[in-house]
Amino acid sequence: QKEVEQNSGPLSVPEGAIVSLNCTYSNSAFQYFMWYRQYSRKGPELLMYTYSSGNKEDGRFTAQLNKASQYVSLLIRDSQPSDSATYLCAVQYFDSWGKLQFGAGTQVVVTP
């Protein structure tokens, strides 16, 4: 079993819809949780990161962390065609800074 699991998709939604992405992890020692966005033939770019249970908002993006249930989710409101990309969940141990564990990524397609 992988330590970080994501649905591979693709997830296709119409423009303006809410996109909900989920990531589960198996090791409670993980402390930092990140969402990266990766466009085709580009490197991942950091969208958001969090370390405390609850919601964290940044514009149209909300990261939700539930440590008790060991999952982190990403919501994208009012989705745009420019949001079409692969979204990668990443987790990190508190005492192993720099050693990120990535999920396989979920491909999102937003259709106009």
Nearest to 87 by CA among 26, 30, 7, 2: 7
Q: Is 77 in the site for other proteins (CB under 8 A)?
A: no
The residue from 34, 63, 76, 85 that contacts other proteins (CB under 8 A) is 34
Q: Bridge partners of 20?
A: 75
Q: Which is nearer to other proteins, 41 or 69 (CB)?
A: 41
Q: Which residue has the tokens 């296709």?
A: 12
The residue from 11, 13, 100, 109 that contacts other proteins (CB under 8 A) is 100
Nearest to 30 by CA among 47, 11, 50, 60: 50
The residue from 18, 53, 97, 111 that contacts other proteins (CB under 8 A) is 97
